[in-house]
Amino acid sequence: MARFVLVLVLAVAAPAWAGGVALDDSRLGAVAPQVHAIVDGAARAGLPADVVADKVREGLAKGVPPARIAAVAVALADALGRARAEAQPLVGTASPALLKAIVEAHAVGAAAADVAAILRAGGRERAVQVLTDLAQRGYPVAAAARTVAAVGARNGAALDRVVGEAERLRAVDGAAPADALDALVRANAQGIGLDHAEQLLHAGDGADDAHAPNRETSGARGPRSGGVAAPGRGKGRP
């Protein structure tokens, strides 16, 4: 009898399960049935139910009101469904990690076309995560997507350096976000390495030519010339 009571107590105290993942009904309160239905529905639809459940747990850990948690769970399940619809024509069966990455990219302003550009170039969750990181740091989203797609298509291993190199160009060279990305794309296209992108920062439209002159060191506007004409070429001189 004592053993039966112990098993019963444990069964009551244990977290409930939805979609194959544990949820704490005691903390969800009145919205527990709704949250169970959301997670179960995601699982039945073939979506990563554990991603939704993780978001529920995160909300509970942060003390978010249960009603708000339920609303976020609904929105996340819908977003995962849309992410799968976007990815499927390009990659077939998308991994849970890729779907989550796409949802996070959209949350920071990436359009479906931005994500599609990366997927068409062969990028997957890591590439989409880099896009999200750049967007969160204030880089133009469309330009960031083009940069990630171009770098990833040429050398997937270089994706892990994109954010760091872009930030270095901004911090050390004072580059604007869009200019930093443009320099990275040019360096990638020329195969000179992302760490040499600063060589192309101040080049003109002909920067794709590795021998294009630098505006700061050539022509009438020489170093620190401030646009002053060369000696011997002032007013009244031939």
SS3 21: strand
Question: What does the chain come to in residues?
Answer: 238
Q: Look at the alpha carbons of 74, 78, 83, 89 in this order and tell me if their dihedral is positive or negative.
A: positive
Q: Decide: residue 145, CB within 10 A, 0-12 exposed, 13-18 middle, 19+ buried.
A: buried
Q: Are 55 and 61 in contact (CB under 8 A)?
A: no
What per-residue confidence (pLDDT) applies to 21? Answer: 56
**Per DSSP, which regions of the chain are E strands?**
16-18, 21-23
Per-residue model confidence (pLDDT) at position 64:
95
Note the pLDDT of residue 9: 34
- Per-residue pLDDT tens, the chain, 238 aa: give them: 444 333 333 333 334 445 455 677 788 999 999 999 999 999 999 999 999 999 999 999 999 999 999 999 999 999 999 999 999 999 999 999 999 999 999 999 999 999 999 999 999 999 999 999 999 999 999 999 999 999 999 999 999 999 999 999 999 999 999 999 999 999 999 999 999 999 998 765 443 444 443 433 333 333 333 333 333 444 344 3
pLDDT given at position 7: 37
Task: Read off the pTM.
Answer: 0.76
At residue 22, the pLDDT reads 65
Q: Which of 129, 127, 134 is nearest to 165 (CA)?
A: 134
Q: What is the dihedral of CA 173, 177, 179, 184, to 10 degrees?
A: 90
Confidence at residue 204, expressed as pLDDT on a 0 to 100 scale: 55
